[in-house]
Amino acid sequence: MQKTLKFALTLSVGFTATLALAPEAHAATPIRTKALSTASTQKGARYVWGAAGGYNKGYDCSGLVYWAYRQHGKTLPRTAQAQYNKITKVSASNRQKGDLIFIGTSASNIYHVGIYGGVKKGYGLILDAPKPGRTVGYHRIQNYTAGSPKAYYGRISG
């Protein structure tokens, strides 16, 4: 049901006018957008294998995704392959910021996950915890797909 706000306005010439304003309709922000924003607050956190939370504790790739979605009430599996198995698959041409991006040699051999960050200066970006010695940040997708690995995309509902 849409509510209408009414205001009475009395002008100095002695008559009253009523102005009706309908509030602007806002679509709910998709969870993928919220998760991307939340994960980006962790830029600079160190990579720690098996870690899933807190800037000071660090993250591994699936731990960052797990943590970002958990902040918005969505619990995902803990590993990249298990996360891939749970999501709704989308094509690269239908990907949107905040969708998950998985790297693997096949759909049954996924070994890395991050959050799709859009395109900047012509390069597709992944927000992820890449590997030991590196930190959470935006990285070029092409750095993960040189050679035989492929990028697969998926969306979490909500």
Residues taking part in catalysis: 61, 112, 128
Q: What is the spatial distance between Cα 21 and Cα 152, in angstroms, rounded to a whole number?
A: 46
Q: Cα 54 to chain center, whole Å?
A: 17
Contact, 69 vs 51, CB < 8 A? Answer: no
Q: What are phi and psi of 110, to 5 degrees?
A: -90, 130
b/e map 6-38, b = 16+ CB within 10 Å: eeeeeeeeeeeeeeeeeeeeeeeebbbebbbbb
Q: What is the spatial distance between Cα 39 and Cα 100, in angstroms, rounded to a whole number?
A: 12
